[in-house]
Amino acid sequence: MFERGVTTTVEDLRGFLGALGRLDTGVDDAERIDQIRLLEEIKAAAAAGQAKVTTEFVASQRTAQTAAGVPAERVGAGIASQVGLAKRESPARARRYVGWAGILTTELPHTLAALQAGWITEWRAQFVARETAWLSAEHRRQVDTELAPQLESLGDRAVEATAKKLAYRLDPHGYLARISNAENERRVSLRPAPDTMAVLTGLLPVAQGVSVLASLRARADSLRSHGDQRSRGQIMADTLVERVTGQTTADAVPVEVRLVMTDQTLLNHGNTPDEPAHLDGYGPLPADLARRLARTAATNAGLWLRRLYTHPHTGALVAMESRRRRFAGELADVLIVRDQTCRTPWCGAPIKHNDHVKPVEDGGPTSEANGQGHCEACNYAKQAAGWHTHTSGGGAGHQIETTTPTGHHYTSRPPGLPRGSPRCPLEDLIVDLLHAA
């Protein structure tokens, strides 16, 4: 398939990809181990090739943008997003990948060679690039030269620790400055966990993180010594919620959250009592838990029920029109509830900007059908030269087609909201009247 000295084409790669699905399975276990090892080396070599192509693509795109007259401060916009779409991953991960790919292919030749030969994984090559990114090019090459002979025998943590140690020895003052800059990256994030739990993470300076944990532990130990029957972990979790929100008890949630469910789910009647609800910022919730949250809110903190009318058959939110140039108020709420996360494929970041699919200057209306929720980075990326979007439908059928500067097409659809059972004709008429209004 591949001939020595002959350039490999996209069609060659497609043929090789197909051949991998036809591996000989009628072999003994010794050969299976050989297959596993060789396939791992192929993955590493493919990662090295992908890094090289990515670096060349970035350079070509920057040159093209400059030649097209893009202002210097805007050169580079949208490039990492194109890489993310091609890799089927979020723009945030793509930006990090573009950075380390550039370092790996231009300034870490020995690490790149080890990856190309299949001696190390892509993840370990990323560790070397990440832990040397703050060094000068000269120092980075020194780490690369010294570390390369050890790479094949080191695991993930050992590669990370060794690269960090070598970098510190070369530039201890720069390492301390890096630590100071890292404090600017402090943040809090939330991600779903199994069984309708959530993981709240705080990235803090080490002294603050230790202080928070020590305070929560001390509070738990004090309450348990006075007879509190909760476990130490439960008390720490409840105390964290109470101190951050100012609530008397952890389950008294006084802030408005967008919990979307059908009337059948809320009232536990109809033909679909088990249709899951949707909690904005988290995702699907079982019907019983959604009802419990509603009951708890009504008992402990007051209950707000915001009615969001959906089409009885499709589940689409009823469209809302506006003459405003900006998405605000209830119209912005509709986009956030409908899209749930950034509409860029494979992004999944929280929505920060509500914007037009067809720009206002091109005649695009400020409406649900012409609106989309985006994270900040993706909203700016689609404004770069050569990006085009158009939409069809609204609500659950709201489809966005994106064309990148290279002519590649990507489709985005909203994840969909809970649906109830089919309504009677009179209810259809009510929905139609609401839509017209």
pLDDT tens-place string over residues 341-367: 888 889 888 888 888 888 877 888 877
Domain positions in the chain are 10-184, 187-245, 321-412
User: How far apart are alpha carbons 319 and 368 in whole angstroms?
Assistant: 6
Q: Is 384 left (phi over 0), alpha (psi -120 to 50) or beta?
A: beta
Identify which of 12, 78, 4, 63 has the alpha carbon closest to the alpha carbon of residue 403. 78
Distance CA 347, CA 148 (A): 34
Res. 273: pLDDT tops 90: no
361 phi/psi in degrees, rounded to 5: -65, -20
Residue 188: CB atoms within 10 A of its CB come to: 10
Which tokens go with 116? 């190309």
| pLDDT greater than 70 at residue 27 | yes
Give the separation between CA 327 and CA 335, rounded to whole angstroms: 9
- pTM of this prediction? 0.68
At residue 394, φ and ψ (nearest 5 deg) are -150, 170
Token pair listed for 132:
């040397």
**What are the structure tokens assigned to 334, written together?**
């509709």
pLDDT in tens, 46-85: 999 999 999 999 999 999 999 999 999 999 999 999 999 9
> Please, what is the average pLDDT of the chain?
81
Q: Is residue 216's pLDDT more than 90?
A: yes
Q: Looking at residue 166, what is its pLDDT? A: 93
Classified as helix, coil or strand, 277 is strand
Which letter, b or e, does each residue of 90-112 get, where b requires 16 or more Cβ atoms within 10 Å of its Cβ?
bbbebbebbbbbbbbbebbebbb
Q: Region 123-150: what's the mean pLDDT?
A: 93
Cα–Cα distance measured from residue 18 to residue 11, given in angstroms and rounded to the nearest whole number: 11
pLDDT band at 100 (very low <50, low <70, confident <90, very high): very high
The residue ranking higher by pLDDT, 283 or 143, is 143
